[in-house]
Amino acid sequence: MKPVAIFRHAPAEGPGYLADFLDAHRIPWKLIAIDAGDAVPHSVEAFSGLAFMGGPMSVNDDLPWIAPVEALIRDAVARDIPVLGHCLGGQLMSKALGGKVLRNPVKEIGWGEVAVADNDTARAWFGDVRHFNVFHWHGETFTPPQGAVRLLSSAHCANQAWAIGKHLALQCHVEMTAGMIASWCEIGADELFAAKASPAVQSADAMQRQMADELPGLQQVAERLYAKWIDGIPRPNYLDNPAY
């Protein structure tokens, strides 16, 4: 089976729970560490899916890898290869497919509730879940590209997720693990202090106090989303090898 390509844009923003999920389902994956200088593939041909993680940069920055990543996303969508984006990854998907990435009215950092939209596409991805607490760490947001269906919103950010067919873009973070949250709180200490007046920013202590209560539920949501997403992986590759 062809692997899922997972794109990492910052050392602390790896695949997290997504990697655990793929390993549990015996789906091979390959890390493409943009932060370590890995080249962006010229074609999606070698992969069964593309997953893009977060990062502190903006998709509007003049970085040499952004245009090739956008071209790869368009190649995957054209070939019906599923694409998944988390935060920066969702913004890359939006920009590649004609949406915009803009400054959000406020920074959202920490645990916060999102509401599931009342439409058939949202129900296909989230089932009976109508709202849940998710982890946020963003100052920008996307607009859904043409043909996309909005799936999630929050009090401070209208566009928290969208889908086009088998492709899913998230502004929020469902991939979190306890280790990732602790690491981000340490690395982002200065950002947290600078943004502490925002009504949507928690302290590091508050985030980690809530983690024991919130993380299991978040991972249940992630499990559902990732399970639906892998259903979009081309079936001949997925079923021909009994090992998978």
All structural domains of the chain, each given as residue ranges with its CATH number in brackets, are 4-237 (3.40.50.880)
Give the model's pLDDT for residue 234: 77
Give the model's pLDDT for residue 241: 46
| Nearest alpha-carbon partner for 137 in 93, 98, 187, 94 | 187
Give the model's pLDDT for residue 243: 44
Q: Helix count (H) and strand count (E) of the chain?
A: 8, 9
Q: Is 92 exposed, middle or buried (0-12, 13-18, 19+ CB in 10 A)?
A: buried
- For residue 114, the surrounding DSSP H or E stretch is strand 101-116
Give the model's pLDDT for residue 130: 97
The pTM for the full model equals: 0.95
Mean pLDDT by 10 residues, the chain (244 residues): 97 98 97 98 97 97 98 97 98 98 97 98 97 98 98 98 98 98 97 94 97 98 98 64 43
- For residue 78, the surrounding DSSP H or E stretch is helix 66-79
Give the model's pLDDT for residue 235: 56
CA distance 35 to 50: 17
